[in-house]
Amino acid sequence: MSQTWVTPGGVHPPENKHQSLTQSIGVLPLPEKLVVPLNQHIGAPAIPCVEVGQKVLKGEVIAKAAGTVSIPMHAPSSGVVSAIEHRPIAHASGMLAPCIEITTDGEDRWIAHEGVDDYEHLAPRKLLEIIANAGISGMGGAGFPSAVKLNPGRQRPILTLIVNATECEPYITADDSAIRERAAEIVEGIKILSAILDHPDNIFIGIEDNKPEAIEALAPHVEGTGISVVSFPTKYPSGGEKQLIYILTGKEIPSGKLPADLGMVCINIGTTYAIKRAVVNGEPLISRVTTVTGDAVGVQRNYETLIGTPVSHLLAHSAFDEKACSRVIMGGPMMGFTLPSADVPIVKTTNCILAPSYAEIPDDEPAQPCIRCGMCAEACPVSLLPQQLFWYSQAQDHERLEAHNLFDCIECGACSYVCPSNIPLVQYYRASKSEIRKARAEKVKSDHARERFEFHKLRMEQAEREKEEKRTARREAALQASAAPSNPSSSVPSSSAADIIAAAQARAAAKQATPEQQQAQLERTIAAAEQRLIVAEQKLAEAIEKGSANQSVLSAAVENTRQKLEQAKAKLAELTA
């Protein structure tokens, strides 16, 4: 038996797993409508490549990946695309996100597809391409695209592959039931992962000792494969990636680092099964095992659930008693969140729908002041200081939150679980993380704006300097040209000075009118002045006759016009003399 290590902190909540393991994995009736969100993963949302009214087949691509850290989406069943719009998704806030709605036709017809049996002879790059095209992301946590996670680069060779079968959160049994019924396919998926990672030295399946049936199901399939099934004592949250790595290897992932930096990759058991189906069977990720449990449902079991199935559809086929239900939770009681509506769809990371009674999970009690008991620090599996993080979150002191490694918090809820004051600590941490991420994004935008402004300012200053240099050069050339006749020792050659003077004289001459043109201009000026003088004298005479008050103004205008006429006549006489 392999050696294991004990992680700090942790709690032992009631497991409540047996209720949903009394039956095998079930199959639900086909929903009338399937709603496929386009952002079921970390990274850019997928881009729709279908139109409303278009017919699609099961497994057909309906949205393409929007970049490297993105995955495509596929039709979970055959039917007609009935809407492409924003809909409520699986989020505590009830936020809207772009979705594709498919009205199913009841035929559940597949596209033509085939897998690869001899995957050992395929290049890792080709296997990663199959996984990426199948739309597979992590199914046990944040939903990181699996093809990206399995391609750490040549500079980081992977020596240890860890398959996470821990499933430590209460009520959830999706992975447990999958291992019991699909152990052979899961081990086949592990072999595919090994081929992609160039056959790591160590391959572990980490599983808690409260799953003896799953451990027994794996045993015959891992014999002689080099895969080790390692069980360890049950404690929440042993299923965290960093916690499981420490339990199995004794190595701690430093803050800000990834397992790949230490030569390790950790993959969820459900993701491993999906990878086998994608490579060997040629099927994209369009369904997953989901636990439906809680005392408010009459039938508690696991279902193979199509992605996009409304939560209300699962509840309706599980004898749901809405009056007895305190809330509907997606996920477990520790890390899950209450759904604002049961109409939201199942996504690739949905491992459980929990409908507890009021006796199981009563309404939240009001939070009381912190009594500084320190129980939260004892329960933290990451050895953080939850009490200080809580204070800094209340004060919105982002600098101190980051100094106390807020982003190392895995939001397991252990601190909230043991808090005697009922303080929702994890909610404060989540809110602070969002605020810090938003501040970082705004800082990046402001930095880009500042860089653009500074670059624009630099260009304007450069252009102004170039203009000033040209003006200075012209002034110096003019001074040197004017000084050339009296200063033979001028540094400017006399031929250059003469050329400058000649050019200036030519421009002046071009602008100067000929005597004939000047005479014609003066004659036109005299004629116009004579006409204005006649009009002005007539107005003055009328004003005198009427006794108008503006006689003095008109008299001055007549005199001014007469003077201009005399001046023009004098210039004409001088020109023609």
SS3 letters for 480-525? HHHHCCCCCCCCCCHHHHHHHHHHHHHHHHHHCCCHHHHHHHHHHH
| Chain-centre distance for alpha carbon 123 | 31
Look at residue 226 and tell me whether its pLDDT is greater than 70.
yes
What pLDDT is recorded for position 530? 85
Look at residue 147 and tell me whether its pLDDT is greater than 80.
yes
Burial 263-275 (b: 16+ CB within 10 A, else e): bbbbbbbbbbbbb
What pLDDT is recorded for position 489? 47
Q: 233-252 pLDDT, tens per residue?
A: 999 999 999 999 999 999 99
Q: What is the mean pLDDT of residues 273-283?
A: 97
Question: pTM for this one?
Answer: 0.78
Q: What is the mean pLDDT of residues 168-173?
A: 96
Q: 565-577 pLDDT, tens per residue?
A: 888 888 888 777 7
What pLDDT is recorded for position 182? 97
> How far is 210 from 176, CA to CA, in rounded Å?
10
> How far is 310 from 40, CA to CA, in rounded Å?
15
Q: What is the mean pLDDT of residues 180-199?
A: 96
> How far is 277 from 115, CA to CA, in rounded Å?
8
What pLDDT is recorded for position 322? 93
Residue 539, CB-side half-sphere exposure with 13 Å CA sphere:
17
Q: Which residues lie below 8 Å from residue 244, measured CB to CB, with a gap of 6+?
A: 162, 164, 166, 206, 238, 266
Look at residue 54 and tell me whether its pLDDT is greater than 80.
yes
Q: Are 37 and 98 in contact (CB under 8 A)?
A: yes
Q: 478-533 pLDDT, tens per residue?
A: 888 777 655 444 444 444 556 666 666 666 665 566 777 778 887 888 888 888 88
Q: 387-437 pLDDT, tens per residue?
A: 999 999 999 999 999 999 999 999 999 999 999 999 999 999 999 999 999
- Give 61's strand partners: 74
What pLDDT is recorded for position 510? 56
Could you tell me which of 231, 230, 226, 229 has the C-alpha nearest to residue 218? 229
Q: What is the mean pLDDT of residues 344-369?
A: 93
Strands of the 61-64 sheet, one edge to the other: 47-48, 61-64, 73-74
Q: What is the mean pLDDT of residues 329-353?
A: 94
Q: Which residues lie below 8 Å from residue 32, measured CB to CB, with a gap of 6+?
A: 103, 104
Look at residue 218 and tell me whether its pLDDT is greater than 50.
yes
Could you tell me which of 96, 371, 88, 351 has the C-alpha nearest to residue 239? 351
What pLDDT is recorded for position 543? 77
Share of residues in the chain with pLDDT > 90 (%)? 70
- Tokens linked to 132: 């990426």
pLDDT-based confidence at residue 177 (cuts at 50, 70, 90): very high
| Mean pLDDT, the chain, integer | 90
What pLDDT is recorded for position 76? 97
> How far is 127 from 196, CA to CA, in rounded Å?
7
What pLDDT is recorded for position 283? 97
What pLDDT is recorded for position 97? 92
pLDDT-based confidence at residue 477 (cuts at 50, 70, 90): confident
pLDDT-based confidence at residue 371 (cuts at 50, 70, 90): very high
Could you tell me which of 5, 20, 2, 425 has the C-alpha nearest to residue 235? 5
What pLDDT is recorded for position 482? 73
Look at residue 308 and tell me whether its pLDDT is greater than 50.
yes
What pLDDT is recorded for position 2? 77
Q: 29-51 pLDDT, tens per residue?
A: 999 999 999 999 888 899 999 99
